[in-house]
C-alpha cells in the first residue's frame, strides 16, 4: 500500500503540466538564416533548453525585410563634400569644370573655389586664418578694439621682418621644408594684419610677401631636382602665389620647376611625387604671366619647353591620345613651334602602343602637326629626329597597308641630304630600326606585286631598283 502511494506521488511530481514532445531543431544553412531571419528566431525560441518555457511559440508572419540600397560611389559629376573636391587632381578639376560648363583656366585654388561654389559648397582658403579677436575688431566690438590697441604696430612689423630673415636663412641652407612653413606663417601674419587695418593705410606690414622671399623659397625647392620631386607641390604653390601677386617668375626657374617634377613613374611621377598634374598646374600659372611683358620672349620659351616636357611624359605614361591632343593644342590653338625631337618622341610613343593597329591614325596626326608647325617632310631627314619621325610613319603605313604613303615618306627622305653621312637619307630611315627595315621591305614587295598585277612593268622595275639599296 505504501509503495503504491509513493509511486503515485512520484508520478505526479515528474509528470509535466502538459504533454511535450522534444524534437531536434532543423539544420539551417547560413544562406537560409540570412534570407529568413524571422524563421531562425522562431526555431531558436521553440527548441530551447528547459530553463526557458517549453511552450511552443506561435509563428507569425515575418515582416518584410527592408532592402538595403548601397549608395553608388561618388562619380566625377557628383561631389558631396569639400574633401571630394580637394582630392581631385589638376586635370580632374579641369574636367569637372568643363562638364559643368565652367571656365577651366586658372590655378588649382581657383579651380577648387569655382567648383565648390558650383556644387553649393562653401569655399575656405586654407592659407587664411582670421582669429576671433580680429573678427571682432572688424565688426567693431569693444573687445576687438581693445585687442587691436594691444597689438603694437612696431611689434608686428618686427615679427614680419624676423620671419622674412628666417625664410632667407632657411632657404640658403637648403631647408626647403622649414622655409615653406615660415612662408606660410608669413602669409597668415600679412593677411591678418592687413585685414585688421580694414583697407586703410594703418597696416604695419605690406599686403603681399616681398618678391625676394618668394624667389628664395622657390630656388630652395628646386635645388637637387626638387629634392627628387618631393618639393614639387610647394614649388607649385609658390609659383601660383607669385603670379597672383603680380610678380614675374624667371624663365629658368619656371622651366626647371616643370621638368623637375616629371619622372618615369605612373602618371609621370617620381617615387610617387610630382607628376603630370602638378606640371600642368605650373604651366597654367606660367601662361598667365606671358602677356605682362611682350618684349621678354623668355616667358614664352619656358612655356613651350614646359609643354614639351609634359607631352613627352604623357607619351611615356601610355596616354597617347591626350599626348597627341596636347601637341595639336600647342600647334593649332597656341601657335607654338615645338622642337622636331618632340614630334619624334611622340610618334615613337604612339608606335609602341600601336600593337593592335588601332592607333595608327595618331601617328599620321603627328606628321600633320609637324607639317603645320612649319617642318617640311622633304627636308627633315637630314636630322636624326626627322628620320625617326619618318620611320614611324613608314611603320604605320605598312600596318595600314597604305603603300602609297610609305613610298611617299621614303621619297621625301631621299630628297634630303645628311652631310655627316655618305648614305642616302632614305637608306638611313629604313635602317634606323628593325621594325622600320621590315616595314620598308614589305612595302616594296607589295608594291612590286601590285605593279605586276596591273601590268605596269616599268613601275615594278623602278621600285625594285629603289628596294635594293634600301
SS3 state at 89 = coil
Q: Write down the pLDDT at residue 364.
A: 94
pTM over the 0.85 mark: no
**Cβ contacts of residue 442 below 8 Å, gap of 6+?**
398
The per-residue DSSP string of 255-302 comes to HHHHHHT--SSGGG-BTTBS-HHHHHHHHHHHHTTTTS-TT-THHHHH
Question: Distance between CA atoms of 151 and 197, rounded to whole angstroms?
Answer: 12
Q: Which residue has the cell 611603320?
A: 395
> Mean per-residue pLDDT for 102-122?
80
Q: Write down the pLDDT at residue 258.
A: 92
Higher pLDDT, 189 or 179: 179
Question: Distance between CA atoms of 138 and 195, rounded to whole angstroms?
Answer: 8
Q: Write down the pLDDT at residue 237.
A: 93
* Cα-based angle 401, 406, 407 (whole degrees, multiple of 5): 125
Q: Which of 428, 410, 411 is nearest to 419 (CA)?
A: 428
Residue pair 272/231 in contact (Cβ under 8 Å)? The answer is: no
User: How many C-beta atoms surround the C-beta of residue 429 within 10 A?
Assistant: 29
CA 417, 421, 427, 428 dihedral sign is negative
Q: Write down the pLDDT at residue 35.
A: 43
Residue pair 115/79 in contact (Cβ under 8 Å)? The answer is: yes
pLDDT of residue 72 exceeding 70: no
Grid coordinates standing for 280?
600642368
> Mean per-residue pLDDT for 244-271?
89
Question: Distance between CA atoms of 158 and 24, rounded to whole angstroms?
Answer: 87
Q: Write down the pLDDT at residue 295.
A: 43
Residue pair 250/299 in contact (Cβ under 8 Å)? The answer is: no
pLDDT of residue 415 exceeding 80: yes
Q: Write down the pLDDT at residue 45.
A: 42
Question: Distance between CA atoms of 394 and 440, rounded to whole angstroms?
Answer: 7
Higher pLDDT, 23 or 164: 164
Percent of the chain with pLDDT over 90: 41
pLDDT tier at 29, thresholds 50, 70, 90: very low
Residue pair 256/298 in contact (Cβ under 8 Å)? The answer is: no
At CB < 8 A and 24+ separation, what contacts does 206-210 make?
A: 208/245, 208/246, 209/183, 209/241, 209/245, 210/164
Percent of the chain with pLDDT over 70: 70
> Mean per-residue pLDDT for 86-90?
83
DSSP 202: T
Grid coordinates standing for 109?
585654388
Question: Distance between CA atoms of 379 and 150, rounded to whole angstroms?
Answer: 75
The crossing angle, in degrees rounded to 10, of helices 360-372 and 384-399 is 140
Summarize pLDDT for 138-173 with one digit per residue, the tens: 455 445 455 455 444 666 677 888 889 999 999 999
Grid coordinates standing for 190?
600679412
Amino acid at each position: 500500500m505504501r509503495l503504491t502511494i509513493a509511486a503515485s506521488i512520484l508520478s505526479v511530481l515528474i509528470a509535466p503540466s502538459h504533454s511535450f514532445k522534444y524534437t531536434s531543431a532543423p539544420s539551417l544553412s547560413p544562406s537560409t538564416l540570412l534570407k529568413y531571419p524571422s524563421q531562425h528566431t522562431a526555431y531558436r525560441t521553440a527548441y530551447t533548453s528547459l530553463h526557458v518555457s517549453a511552450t511552443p511559440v506561435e509563428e507569425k508572419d515575418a515582416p518584410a525585410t527592408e532592402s538595403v540600397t548601397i549608395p553608388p560611389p561618388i562619380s566625377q559629376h557628383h561631389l558631396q563634400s569639400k574633401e571630394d573636391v580637394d582630392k581631385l587632381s589638376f586635370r580632374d578639376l579641369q574636367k569637372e569644370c568643363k562638364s559643368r560648363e565652367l571656365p577651366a583656366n586658372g590655378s588649382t585654388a581657383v579651380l577648387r573655389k569655382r567648383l565648390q561654389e558650383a556644387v553649393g559648397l562653401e569655399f575656405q582658403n586654407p592659407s587664411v586664418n582670421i582669429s576671433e579677436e580680429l573678427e571682432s575688431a572688424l565688426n567693431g566690438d569693444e573687445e576687438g578694439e581693445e585687442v587691436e590697441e594691444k597689438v603694437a604696430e612696431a611689434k608686428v612689423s618686427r615679427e614680419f621682418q624676423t620671419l622674412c630673415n628666417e625664410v632667407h636663412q632657411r632657404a640658403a641652407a637648403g631647408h626647403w621644408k622649414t622655409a615653406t612653413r615660415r612662408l606660410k606663417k608669413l602669409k597668415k601674419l600679412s593677411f591678418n594684419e592687413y585685414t585688421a587695418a580694414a583697407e586703410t593705410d594703418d597696416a604695419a606690414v605690406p599686403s603681399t610677401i616681398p618678391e625676394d622671399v618668394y624667389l628664395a623659397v622657390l630656388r630652395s625647392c628646386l635645388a637637387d631636382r626638387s629634392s627628387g620631386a618631393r618639393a614639387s607641390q610647394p614649388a607649385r604653390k609658390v609659383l601660383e602665389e607669385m603670379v597672383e601677386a603680380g610678380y614675374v617668375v624667371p624663365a629658368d626657374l619656371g622651366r626647371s620647376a616643370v621638368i623637375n617634377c616629371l619622372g618615369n613613374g605612373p602618371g609621370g611621377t617620381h617615387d610617387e611625387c610630382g607628376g603630370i598634374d602638378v606640371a600642368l598646374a605650373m604651366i597654367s600659372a606660367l601662361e598667365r604671366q606671358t602677356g605682362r611683358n611682350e618684349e621678354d620672349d623668355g616667358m614664352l620659351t619656358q612655356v613651350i619647353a614646359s609643354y614639351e616636357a609634359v607631352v613627352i611624359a604623357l607619351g611615356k605614361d601610355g596616354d597617347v591620345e591626350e599626348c597627341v591632343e596636347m601637341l595639336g593644342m600647342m600647334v593649332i590653338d597656341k601657335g607654338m613651334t615645338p622642337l622636331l625631337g618632340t614630334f619624334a618622341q611622340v610618334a615613337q610613343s604612339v608606335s609602341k602602343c600601336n600593337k593592335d593597329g588601332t592607333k595608327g591614325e595618331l601617328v599620321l596626326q603627328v606628321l600633320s602637326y609637324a607639317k603645320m608647325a612649319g617642318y617640311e617632310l622633304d627636308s627633315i631627314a637630314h636630322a636624326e629626329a626627322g628620320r625617326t619621325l619618318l620611320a614611324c610613319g613608314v611603320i604605320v603605313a605598312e600596318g595600314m597597308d597604305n603603300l602609297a604613303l610609305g613610298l611617299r615618306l621614303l621619297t621625301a627622305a631621299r630628297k634630303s641630304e645628311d652631310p655627316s653621312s655618305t648614305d642616302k637619307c632614305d637608306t638611313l630611315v629604313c635602317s634606323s630600326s628593325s621594325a622600320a627595315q621590315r616595314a620598308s621591305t614589305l612595302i616594296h614587295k607589295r608594291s612590286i606585286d601590285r605593279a605586276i598585277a596591273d601590268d605596269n612593268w616599268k613601275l615594278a622595275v623602278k621600285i625594285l631598283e629603289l628596294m635594293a639599296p634600301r
